[in-house]
Amino acid sequence: MKRKKVILITGGAGFIGSHLCDCFIRKDFRVICMDNLITGSKDNIRHLLGEKNFTFCKHDISKRINIKGAIDYILHFASPASPVDYTEFSIQTLKVGSLGTHNVLGVAKAKKAKFLLASTSEVYGDPLVHPQKETYWGNVNSVGPRSMYDESKRFAEAIVMAYHRVHKVDTRIIRIFNTYGPRMRMRDGRVVPNFIYQTLHNKPLTIYGTGKQTRSFCYVDDMVAGIVKLLQSNIHTPVNIGNPIEFNMLELAKVLQKVAKIKKKIVRKPLPVDDPKQRKPDIAIAKTKLKWKPKVQIQEGLARTFAWFKDNA
């Protein structure tokens, strides 16, 4: 009988990680989900706990990792990812990006597993180039209030490429742009759950600065499809995955109000330090080499996300 492929997903109880667990269970993999649950939640994977091909392991990957048996693929998604979380867990964020990535790469080297790092558009910092191509080196404040996340991911990219060049580990790097959808935490601090929380709790919508700063929002199903395509590719350098359609925060607020059928007052607060003014991926590599592009429009994605939050509030 042919052995099932085995995939280790670190941060598998998190937002994107849990959707990846679902994806690979559907693909008939044996899935090992590893998470220390500081920002992930067992609620995200509860429906999988009875699956014979699913194993949950509560573990901090900044510490030594011991896994018996074969592993064919590793998706390294462990890290706090919202400003609220990586500010609260600043040391843990730096550790998981450095020590954690080193430990997981060690597993990949020992098991001869294909390895994919979840990096981020935050490596571009507050960009001076728009849209951002993978060749752009970024405009990052290495000692600023967001530096623990930005620099941990920049280091993670560097060590992944070092393991690829020196130890011939079969690696991939995805730079994830703003992703949203079901299983985000209501109070995680990012703009989509923030707006939805405020809408459901009859609060005014908070806009920081002028509200003209832009983001490009990718629905989680599209993101998972892009991750799978990249994993199946032979591209070892970073690849942007995200939705290139740009929205400023005032426009996003209007779309959500239309979806929720509620008109909300807007209150303004100062823009946080080093908050990027523009964020838009150049996805030419993903489109040409992976044959990937996002399919879910913002109105549809927000409607699905709003409905999920309403049911799970």
> Catalytic site residues?
149
Crossing angle for the helix pair 101-111 and 147-167, nearest 10 degrees?
A: 20
Nearest to 192 by CA among 72, 109, 309: 309
What is the spatial distance between Cα 192 and Cα 217, in angstroms, rounded to a whole number? 9
CB 239, CB 286: distance < 8 Å: yes
Amino acid at 246: E
What is the spatial distance between Cα 97 and Cα 152, in angstroms, rounded to a whole number? 5
Crossing angle for the helix pair 249-260 and 298-312, nearest 10 degrees?
A: 60
How many other C-beta atoms can be found within 10 angstroms of the C-beta atom of residue 309? 19
